[in-house]
Amino acid sequence: MSHNINTFEDLACYWFVVHGTTHKSASSLKRDHGILRKYLFPVFASRFLDSIKNYEVQEWFSALKQRSSLSPKSCNDVLGLFKKILKDGVYWGFIERSPAEYIKKLKISEKEYTCWSVEDAQLYLGYWQSKNITPRIAWIVYVALYTGMRRGELLSLKWESIDLNSDMLLVKSSYCRIKKQVKQETKSKKIRYIPLSKALKKILEQLRKITGASGFVCPFIHPDLYNKEFKKSSQQAGLKLIRFHDLRHTFASNFLMGGGNIYDLQKILGHSTIQMTERYLHLVPSHLKGKTEVLGF
């Protein structure tokens, strides 16, 4: 492989080949390619690596939020990719220092997650369980509400991964929408276990009669239609509209409000760090009530 790396574009293309394709998913690579094409290459593509100054990067980043419609988080994502590529360039010896090393990310306010309350979830479950015919999306929503699984994980979930005797569900694969195939790994690349509640076990016993022969737990719906079908079924049940992915937030918030432990929630959701799980804490400040009583002064 040629190592004629002089400009930022040279380094970025090299980074995609030796790092991106090895360590990143197809969806992440697609996002990174979009960031480079739209926000980084127009400014830095033809610049020689050793000619980029710290103050130029700071001025560019300061203007990014003002000149674009990007949110603070998206601005940070752009900077994060820029810093990662340059940092790896230093590690590989293509550049002596990174001009973005000390650029600070924007502060992000506490995010308000949209989710259903316990009453909302009960209303949805009760509405469709009372009907003679249950739409395919409703079965998928049932599983999502009781497990907090991602859409790709639900799409690839097989009956062989469910043990009704030990009351455990094994999450070990995920459907990739970009490559249109099942990957034998999760987003975090770790296998995880989700305990089956009594309510979910009853639902799975019913669902096995419907999908058992296919090998897959959830009825198939094209992944691009999940939000559309979910919206339709929610409207019929008389509920406020949320995205399908918000069912994951619904599981997390109600797990904590029900007395669940944040470290258990981290394992169930498959978060790589506890900081990712702590994003849900502001939804349930009441969980802290009485915790200082352990001081015993």
Q: CB under 8 Å, gap of 24 or more: what pairs does 63-66 form?
A: 64/39, 65/106
Confirm whether 150 is a catalytic residue: yes
Residue 245 known to be catalytic: yes
Partners of 194 in the β-ladder: 169
User: Which residues on adjacent β-strands are paired with residue 176?
Assistant: 181
Which of 39, 175, 226, 280 is labelled catalytic?
A: 280
Q: Is the pLDDT of residue 294 over 80?
A: no
3-state secondary structure of 267: helix
Active site residue 151: no
Above 70 in pLDDT, residue 292? no
Q: Is the pLDDT of residue 295 over 80?
A: no
Confidence of residue 126 (pLDDT cuts 50, 70, 90): very high
Q: 192: which strand partners?
A: 171
Catalytic residue among 245, 267, 279, 287: 245
Query: Which is catalytic among the residues 187, 231, 267, 279?
Result: 187
248 catalytic? Reply is yes
More confident residue, 205 or 188: 205
Which carries the bigger pLDDT value, residue 114 or residue 235?
235
The answer to whether 95 and 89 are in contact (CB under 8 A) is: yes
Q: Are 172 and 161 in contact (CB under 8 A)?
A: yes
Q: Strand, helix or coil at 171?
A: strand
- Calpha distance 192→157 (Å, rounded): 13
Q: Give 39's contacts (C-beta < 8 A, 6+ positions apart).
A: 64, 68, 78
